[in-house]
Amino acid sequence: MEKVCQVCMHHCRLKPGQWGICRARKNENGEIVCKNYGQISSLALDPIEKKPLRRFYPGSRILSVGSFGCNLRCPFCQNHEISMIEPEMSEDSYLSPEELADIAVKCQEQGNIGLAFTYNEPLVGWEYVLDTAKLVRKAGMKNVLVTNGSALAETAEKLLPYVDAMNIDLKGFREEYYRKLGGSLWVVKEFIIRAVKECHVELTTLIVPGENDSVQEMEEEARWIASLNKEIPLHISRFFPRYQMADAAATEVKTVYALADAAGKYLKYVYTGNC
């Protein structure tokens, strides 16, 4: 039986045995199944600033976990080895929510404050995030989501009660650009609007030369963010050649600083990255 996945804006209409665009969800016997549930490709204890989060428990560390799959197709993906890989090619190991939460608790001795779902797109496997986040919260620790925000409100509502902080990628501020990446600016904006009402939110924009590097676009983006709350931190990051853009030129440092200055006219906290 054909089934429609309801997690994100793609609304993938899947026949039995067919995978969604995210390569993490599949129609099995007429039901949409989360196939990356508990399949862990990456696990590391990171500084919280690496997420990046600058105004959420600064100086602390957080256990960071990733699986495989993503519902966007960014040609500059920094983690394409896991986010874009075919499921059968993924080198991962299974950890139950209980096992992962237990690891997070044990890492408290090393300064760990909780668990960050990151590296790939965590929302395509929201069921595992939810099950694990409940246990982490019960243990008195924090949950962090590093996401592209390309999910429907129904997906966000299930997770928000258990998420303490998010870093959300705001790829740019033109719908045309988002379409090139396989996404929707409107969907991400709605996700951000909902998230800032429930948890600590910081935003990241990766500056890609010739795509989203105009001062005019950055000022428009910053004004919109400020309309929600001028104290929402914005990270403006430098692009380096990666994945399908390996032959492209890196963003000039002076461009990043100029855009940070432009955003700083409207926002209290603007940070530069990769400079």
Cβ contacts of 30 within 8 Å, gap of 6 or more: 1, 3, 16
Can you give the residue ranges of every domain in the chain? 36-273
Query: Could you tell me whether strands 13-14 and 25-28 are parallel, antiparallel, or unpaired per DSSP bridges?
Result: unpaired
CATH number of 36-273: 3.20.20.70
Q: How far apart are CA 268 and CA 231, in angstroms?
A: 5
Determine how β-strand 13-14 pairs with β-strand 142-147: unpaired
pLDDT at residue number 246: 81
For residue 91, what pLDDT is reported? 59
* pLDDT grade for 275, boundaries at 50, 70 and 90: confident
Polymer length in residues for the chain: 275
DSSP category for residue 28? E
Residue 108 has a CB neighbour count (10 Å cut-off) of: 15
CB–CB of 164/200 below 8 Å?
Answer: yes
pTM: 0.95
Per-residue model confidence as pLDDT tens digits over 219-267:
999 999 999 999 999 999 999 988 788 888 899 999 999 999 999 999 9
Q: How far apart are the first and last CA of the chain?
A: 51
Q: What is the per-residue pLDDT across 230-241, written as a single tens digit (0 to 9) for each?
A: 999 999 999 998
Residue 120 near residue 55, CB atoms below 8 Å: no
For residue 184, the one-letter residue type is S
pLDDT of residue 189: 98
Whether pLDDT at 46 is above 60: yes
